[in-house]
Structure 1
Amino acid sequence: MASLLSPRAPLWCCPFRPFFLLTALHGIVVMAVWLAWLSGWMPLPDMPGGPFVWHAHEMLFGFAAASIAGFLLTALTEFTGSAALPPRPVQRLVWLWLGGRVAYLLSGSVGIAWAAALDMGFMLSLVAHSFGPLWRAPERRHMSFFYALVALTGAHLGFYISLLLGHEALPWLRLSIGLLMILVIVALSRISMALFNEVMGKYGGLTADYVARPPRRNLAMFTIGLSAVATFAQAGPGVPGWLACAAAAAILNLLNDWHVGRALWQRWVLIPYLLYWCMALGYGVIGVGHLSEQPWQSAGEHLLLVAALGLAILVVMSIAGRVHAGHALDGRLWLPAAVLLLILAAISRAGASLPFLPLATWGLSPLTLAAVLWIGAWLLYAAYAWRVLTGPRPDLGQFCDERMPLPSD
């Protein structure tokens, strides 16, 4: 362990390494704690907002935020040509992130201010590290990452201000779900054209000209943003429902970019395609639930978070976490298995709120089954990514250099 903490260890040679590893470990540990609380194996803690708000916050600003940090700080090097962030600043960011997790867990005893200070310090540091390289890049083509990150930081600040004032903080988390969905679309549109076309030719022996068309992408992000704002503002009857349905339709329209023939069945193309289906389904469930006055909001949100966001994080970490470490993409069966576990976890969790969706849960509650499936997916990732993320590069590349060798390399 001491060698892993050394700034000279391979773990710290690029920001994605510690943050991708922490993403998986956090997804396992926090869900295990949540399962223990739900099952009565551990007493529910006393904390501002209650354990449910803690759980939702940790999935958004613990699990997802760690993956965003790893992806963005690594992508800056590729997108802008800037130097990789040195180990010491990366370690400071990691300690801020870890401190926020511990402080929130102990907030019932020490107050929420410590968690707010550490978490906002982490988010603002990401904003500060991102602005310069993105602003100085030619034509500032990737500033959308910065705008999305600033919006997410603002929502996080609103969440903590609400907790500090004793107000309802959950609407800020629901707003953050929409912002994360927008960030997923922004990220996939950037990496897909440069990466997936190369993957289809090099790994699948297939040629297909995938193009992420801005009108479809922008329409999807616009409708998702409107839906998130309407839900946050608690707009009049029907407005959130119709806007969520509009978001679902816009995402389905976005899928037309992905109809690239046989190449669609390659795993590196199929996984993002499936996550967009899950995203559309999540917004569809939310919209129909609002319009029919059914309590389906939670079911739709878990389809968005467990399936769509979970698959997005898994596929990005499985690609970027290997090619930026000098490894070939992994063609083993663990990745399809992890994808299946995440989709089943989302269906099981949604089934807890959808009475018309009968499920075989093998004697477990739908919530327990969903948690077990989720933990299984991230255990698989952690087991197969550990050596890649903590070990030295197998090639002559340095820091975050991208290399995509064939599996036989």
Structure 2
Amino acid sequence: MSGPRQPHLAVAHSTHPLWSCGFRPFFVLTSAGASGFLVVWLLVLSGAGPANWAPPGGVLLWHAHELVFGFGMAAAAGFLLTAIPEFTGAAPIAARPLMGLTVLWLAARAAYALGQWLPPGVAVVLTAAPNLLFTAMLLARLAPALWRDPRRAHLGFAWTLGGLLLAQAGFFAALATGGDGLAWIHGAIDLTMILILLAGSRVSMSVLNGYIEAGRPGAPPPSDDYLARPPRRYLAVFAIGACGVAQAGLGGGPVAGWAALAASAAVFNVLNDWHVGRSLFTRWALMLYACFWLIALGYGALGLAWLLDLWPASAGRHLLTAGAMGLSVFTIMSLAGRIHSGLWLDRRPWLPLAACALAIAALARAAAGLPALAAGAGVLILAAGAVWAAAYAVYLWHAWPALAGPRADGRAGCAEPESKTPSPFSGPDSGC
């Protein structure tokens, strides 16, 4: 984000605006999917959904897969297809392959939802094929640019995306053989938290140092007060990976519990980078800051669940998914979806209100697992889900003109608003 102006950012004006940049269709799909998947899940929980609907593996696995690999992968695609060309200087994705990826994502969602009407073995294969192909094509699109970058400073995105592809393949293999599909989903959640750490460290460089709106009239001059220090981030990535390995091998218990607490402490340590004074106290910086808090709290809740059995582990996982993933996706879409549409950031009150609603919904969903609230857990889960889905519906309502409409500034593609100040990514040492 907020990189130097590149000549290859221009595309033909005859292309519909929706296909002029990688983030546009996928941010639409992310927000629409977030609301749609949750509404279907809430209808199922409340007994108002289709009585005979049974996607491969059951409705619970469908819900978990679609929020991690449907909602989450659409958000990752939108961010990476926009950010990687900016970080590496590679050519952006053209309209035709972008349309192909979009259709493939939609086909993957339809295949899973309609899989019950096919023989079980055939259903898993036909569901797995478009899902795995989408992730593989996304990785194939991005990996060469990441590898050719002389510094290879962003290669972690490729490794994480490759890990998600393997986790998704393991999930469908488990469906085909009667194995534990949720174990693969849990591993994918850990990889998604690593992806958030990688993306968040880069976006926060622009936000806290004021580069993201450096060209806006009246904006304060950018600074170098904030630095996303690699050692802290590497330690957090290692700790989350260790927690995932312990969970996969042991399925919980004391070792996994201590590993989860170590991951929590490592992410709290990353937060020390953020304490730079007044720059932290803007809506966008605080939203990103809260994402890291939710990651730390999520792993802390997992650790205490496995060590002391205070609450189910699902409470911690919902802090990671509904909380950290939900808020980070919303925040990055609110930042990148505006700037790369040629607009300065949205300063209307709906945005922080929706962000607060997402955080509160995640905390409420986690609290539903507390034994003291067992009597009202059902109502709390439905209310939290409804608020979470509504926040994304509000985002889509406000963001649709920017995502699907033409630019008003005369520029094209993913170009940002005119700015004469270089971003931290254009220098030799970005701290990333």
- Is TM more than 0.5 here? yes
Name the counterpart of 1:377: 391
Query: Structure 2 residue aligned with 1:263, among 279, 289, 292?
Result: 279
For residues 116 and 162 of structure 1, do their structure 2 counterparts lie closer, same or farther at Cα, with a shift above 3 Å needed? same
Q: What is the alpha-carbon distance in structure 2 between the residues aligned to residue 72 and residue 135 of structure 1?
A: 14
Name the counterpart of 2:116: 108
Map 1:8-407 → 2, pairs under 5 A: 8-42=15-49, 43=51, 45-110=53-118, 111-199=123-211, 202=214, 205=220, 209-234=225-250, 237-356=253-372, 365-403=379-417
Residue 378 of structure 1 deviates from its aligned partner by 0.2
Q: What is the alpha-carbon distance in structure 2 between the residues aligned to residue 237 and residue 130 of structure 1?
A: 38
Q: What is the alpha-carbon distance in structure 2 between the residues aligned to residue 143 and residue 18 of structure 1?
A: 25
CA deviation digits over 1:169-219, x for unaligned, max 9? 110000000000000001111222234312588577485611001111111
Bigger relative CO (Cα 8 Å, ≥ 6 apart):
2
Q: Scaled by the length of structure 2, what TM-score is found?
A: 0.88
User: Does structure 2 conserve the Cα–Cα contact (< 8 Å) formed by 1:329 and 1:404?
Assistant: no
Aligned length: 399
CA deviation digits over 1:222-265, x for unaligned, max 9? 11111111111126730010000111111111110000111211
User: Does structure 2 conserve the Cα–Cα contact (< 8 Å) formed by 1:278 and 1:307?
Assistant: yes
Q: Give the SS at the match of 1:177.
A: helix
For residues 195 and 402 of structure 1, do their structure 2 counterparts lie closer, same or farther at Cα, with a shift above 3 Å needed? farther
Residue 80 of structure 1 deviates from its aligned partner by 1.0
User: Does structure 2 conserve the Cα–Cα contact (< 8 Å) formed by 1:220 and 1:250?
Assistant: yes
Q: What is the alpha-carbon distance in structure 1 between the residues aligned to residue 376 and residue 398 of structure 2?
A: 29
Of 126-135 and 199-208, more deviation after overlay is shown by 199-208
Q: Give the SS at the match of 1:59.
A: helix
User: Does structure 2 conserve the Cα–Cα contact (< 8 Å) formed by 1:13 and 1:87?
Assistant: yes
Of 238-247 and 206-215, more deviation after overlay is shown by 206-215
Structure 1 residues without counterparts, runs of 5 or longer: 1-5
Of 190-199 and 392-401, more deviation after overlay is shown by 190-199
CA deviation digits over 1:134-186, x for unaligned, max 9? 11112211111111100111111111111111212110000000000000001
User: Does structure 2 conserve the Cα–Cα contact (< 8 Å) formed by 1:208 and 1:261?
Assistant: no
Of 191-200 and 344-353, more deviation after overlay is shown by 191-200
Name the counterpart of 1:3: none
**Identical-pair percentage:** 44
Name the counterpart of 2:426: none
Structure 2 residues without counterparts, runs of 5 or longer: 1-12, 421-432
Letter in 2 for 1:125: M
Q: What is the alpha-carbon distance in structure 1 between the residues aligned to residue 14 and residue 246 of structure 2?
A: 46
User: Does structure 2 conserve the Cα–Cα contact (< 8 Å) formed by 1:49 and 1:168?
Assistant: no
Letter in 1 for 2:114: L
Instruction: Let me know the Cα RMSD of the aligned residues.
Output: 2.1
